[in-house]
Copies of this chain bind each other. A is one copy, B any other.
Amino acid sequence: MFKKIGAVALSTGLVLSAVSVPVFADKPESPGKGKGNGYGGKKIDNIIYMIPDGFSGDYASNYRVYKGEDAVWDEHLKGMFTTNSANADVTDSAAAGTAMASGVKTNNGVIGLDPEGNELTTILDASEEAGKSSGLVATSTITHATPASFATNVESRNNQTEIARQYISGEVDVLLGGGQNMFLPETEGGNQEELNLIEEAQESGFTYTETRDELLDSTDIDVEEGEKLLGLFAEEALSPELHRDQTVEPSLAEMTEVSIEVLEQDKDGFFLMVEGSQIDWAGHANDAAWAMSDVAAFEDAVEAAIDFAEQDGKTLVIVAGDHDTGGMTTGSGAYAGLNADILNQVTATGDFIATQLNEDRSNTKEIVEEYTNLTITEDEVQSIQDASDAVLAINRVVSDHAGIGWTSTNHTGADIPVYAYGPQSEKFVGFYDNTDLPKIMANALRVNLKN
């Protein structure tokens, strides 16, 4: 593509480089509804990779109804990508995380290894090798599949203690999430004292925090001096956002903000991955209220990342789910219209609501209405009382009211939207495979992914 400009006849022989004149060349159209996309400079020092686990296009459209306006990412839509793993049409989070971290497809369940078992270099590894700092943040155990894919190499995602061990002896500077028990594994005799990876982490330079307050006081970690930060705020996963106010846990946005504050001290820049882990779990349970409230918590974290990127000017923020979970649709046959906004009234997950039912479920109507603030029909009450799985039955009733459909309790193979903000974000425009994402990032960050 070229642009003709009026210019002097070349035959005059004048030297054409004496003065620089700005020529307004093909400015990308302001993409869509957005007011701007942080274009303006090409060089980037930092990448913040935001992964809402299980989030597909239908989560985006339902979330817009839930919120009542566009989400912060909508205006930054760039493209879509495919997600199949090396051995399955429908990926799991380990193979998806490995592809999105290393650019190589592997088998479901495998982390940081190719199908032949060879160790892979990730965009985090490449960033560290270029002298940058790095961090991983999640609302699952920090040793769960997605964060683990960026910094460890294990044959099975289930081996979370091995993942913890590799973290501690590895290069990641900031680790924030759940999973104390993965660092304090019970040995066969039930004794937690024999292996204490939290102590080992402290011995190898990590400051350890266990509560929101401790975390917010930890921003003086000096990564340039080799100091590191480990925050484990629950024995297992963190709480769903719907129940976090009953805990001492930080929000995903707070973990993101502290991570950025610590990592931005590194003059060489940083790589940070932040996962909204439980959107996927909500999808498996077909729990629309849990899904939307955890998307909202994730959006707060994305806003924190974009706020930083906007000021910094050398940070690229990418938002990309790893796969769809549940076959969510924006509308269903049950009630007319899109009503995801009613989910704002729901105060508990289906998991929790089911625990409040008595043995014969005779209190179903009263309990479900108490926690959902919906009026449910006698047929709906009956469907919950008769169900083999009360949690799923409750969640289906709530989803019906919200106009949200589901076709599965597993992942699906839907293409996933990718959003990007900041310099070089336009590189994500188009149709991609999940393995392309870290390659584009490595190219933008001028680091070597090797694989």
Interface residues of A (CB under 8 A from B): 1-10, 12, 14-34, 39-40, 42, 57-58, 60-61, 64-65, 74-82, 88-90, 324, 327-333, 336-338, 403, 405-415, 417, 426-427, 429-433, 436
Contacts and interface: CB of A to CB of B under 8 A. Distances in A.
Given A5-B20, A14-B14, A330-B414, 19 more contacts: A4-B21, A4-B22, A7-B18, A8-B15, A28-B426, A29-B426, A30-B430, A57-B415, A60-B415, A61-B415, A78-B430, A88-B337, A90-B331, A90-B338, A327-B330, A327-B405, A330-B413, A331-B410, A338-B413
A307 to B, nearest CB: 20
Contacts of A6: 16-20
A15 B14 CA distance: 13
Nearest to A415: B61
A1 B405 CA distance: 43
Contacts of A79: 31-32, 77
A26 B29 contact: no
Identical subunits present: 2
A16 to B, nearest CB: 4
A80 B65 contact: no
A3 B22 contact: yes
A267 to B, nearest CB: 23
Given A14-B12, A57-B415, A27 B4 contact: no
- Kindly name the residue among A4, A58, A81, A82 whose own CB sees the greatest number of chain B CB atoms within 10 A: A58
- Kindly name the residue among A42, A328, A429, A436 whose own CB sees the greatest number of chain B CB atoms within 10 A: A429
A404 B430 CA distance: 25
A31 B430 contact: yes
A10 B21 contact: yes
A257 B95 CA distance: 44
5 contacts: A1-B28, A3-B23, A31-B430, A89-B338, A405-B412
B31 A331 contact: no
A411 B5 contact: no
Nearest to A11: B19
Contacts of A89: 65, 331, 337-338, 403
A426 B39 CA distance: 16
Contacts of A5: 5, 16, 20-21, 23
Contacts of A327: 329-333, 405, 407
B23 A414 contact: no
A61 B20 contact: no
B19 A10 contact: yes
B25 A2 contact: yes
A413 B32 contact: no
A17 to B, nearest CB: 4
A25 B28 contact: no
B331 A411 contact: yes
Contacts of A58: 414
A266 to B, nearest CB: 27
A7 B1 contact: no
Contacts of A429: 28-29, 31-32, 78, 426, 429
A22 B2 contact: yes
